[in-house]
Amino acid sequence: MTRVFAPGVFDVFHIGHLNYLLSASREGDELVVAVQEDRAVERQKHIELVTPLPERVALIEQLHFVKEVVSYSSIFQGPLLAALSIDVFACGEEYGSDPRYPEQLKTLDYCVRAGIRIARIPRTARVSSTAVRSRLKSFWASRAAKEADLPAGVTTLGSFGGDQELVRQQTAREAALIEETALKYSSHSLIDLGCGDGRHLMELAHGFERITGVDFAEELVAIARRKLAQVAPHAMLHVVDVTDFMTKDLFDIVLLSGITPYLDDVQLERMLFNVNRYTHRDSQVLMRASISTDKRINLINYFSAELGETYTAYYRTESETIAFMAQNGWALRRSSSLYQHRPDTAVWWFEFARAN
């Protein structure tokens, strides 16, 4: 059995600690976690711990992938590694780089001499979950089942209190903004990422020579395909996650209508990386997004009493949205508020062009 050793303080246990230990457990068969005791931490780091050692140990003992939990004082881990017959020493990327703790370098040297493999565990920068994405797909499948009650569009969550006539009017308003841009820049092709049930494609079908829709919810694409069959037989629809979609075709306009709040930062960055590969220097990105009117709001598996369901969304601020797009090669041309649908969020319209 390959035994992995992961040391740490683990005060105020958080997602970074969890990811560190989970990653360490994948480096071998048995994970031994070493928790530094209170006096040593306070003496070495000159901090007062929030969570005392017994509670820190008890929390980690509850993790099913942890084989054993021990505590220690000395930063130099050599004797403990030998006593526990450790094969792999797991540590953070920064371990051994702080001149205040030369014993960390001494521990790394010991591992090299003793034939103990050193596994560097990356720090958690962002939280991204496949499980969350799977549940989100189920959420949109359940929305597709409401088509009979929401003929104007099943993807406008809570907007206008569900008033279908107001949803139709808003869809027409947004389609007019898209057509205005298409006319201004002589655009002939459009791709709708996160096309949902096709409410925008229905309005835009006759205005473009080439039109494409992409969505990961098969049930929503089935609705869009049925709606477009008669009015736009040339429309191409793909059932694929927008973060994975790639094509050799180039598009004049990329429409992101409501999709960005359902992508975390890693997923949004990946999607934009691909977008940059199927657009050209004169392409436009048009975005309709629900944004936070104050500070960023993250909702993970959030139960909405209004919808009667749980969903996940990331409501970025206006400035955060503009900055994120700029970092990924898209400069703001103009933006405006479309409507306020909740006290702390509003729906905005953004137009971006390739940054010089």
Residues forming a β-bridge with 119: 90
| pLDDT reported for residue 81 | 96
- Higher pLDDT: 345 or 14? It is 345
| pLDDT reported for residue 127 | 46
* Residue-wise pLDDT tens digits, 135-159: 777 888 888 888 888 888 888 877 7
For the chain, give the mean pLDDT: 90
* Residue-wise pLDDT tens digits, 293-318: 999 998 877 877 777 778 888 999 99
- Tell which CATH architecture fits domain 130-354: 3-Layer(aba) Sandwich (3.40)
pLDDT above 90 covers what percent of the chain? 66
Contact in structure between 266 and 128 (CB atoms under 8 Å): yes
| pLDDT reported for residue 124 | 65
Q: In what order do the strands lie in the sheet with 68-72?
A: 68-72, 30-36, 3-8, 88-92, 117-121
Least confident of 8-17, 66-75, 155-164, 282-291: 155-164
For the chain, give the number of residues: 356
3-121 matches 130-354 in fold: yes
- pLDDT exceeds cutoff 50 at 128: no
Q: What is the CATH code for 3-121?
A: 3.40.50.620
Q: What mean pLDDT comes out for the span 63-79?
A: 94
* Residue-wise pLDDT tens digits, 317-344: 999 999 999 999 999 999 999 999 888 9
| pLDDT reported for residue 101 | 85
Cβ partners under 8 Å of residue 296, min gap 6:
314, 315, 316, 317, 320
Contact in structure between 275 and 304 (CB atoms under 8 Å): no
* Whole-number Å distance between alpha carbons of 158 and 137: 18
Residues forming a β-bridge with 192: 213, 255
- pLDDT exceeds cutoff 70 at 132: no
| pLDDT reported for residue 303 | 74
pLDDT band for position 130 (cuts 50, 70, 90): low
* Whole-number Å distance between alpha carbons of 265 and 260: 9
pLDDT above 70 covers what percent of the chain? 97
Dihedral sign, Cα of residue 6, residue 11, residue 17, residue 18: positive
* Residue-wise pLDDT tens digits, 174-190: 999 999 999 999 999 99
Closest by alpha carbon to 34, among 10, 7, 4? Answer: 7
| pLDDT reported for residue 131 | 59
**Boundaries of every domain in the chain:** 3-121, 130-354
pLDDT band for position 15 (cuts 50, 70, 90): confident
Alpha helices in the chain (DSSP H): 15-25, 38-45, 53-61, 78-83, 102-114, 130-144, 164-184, 199-204, 218-231, 265-275, 318-327
* Residue-wise pLDDT tens digits, 221-258: 999 999 999 888 889 999 999 988 999 999 999 999 99
Instruction: Read off the DSSP letter of residue 260.
Output: G
| pLDDT reported for residue 334 | 95
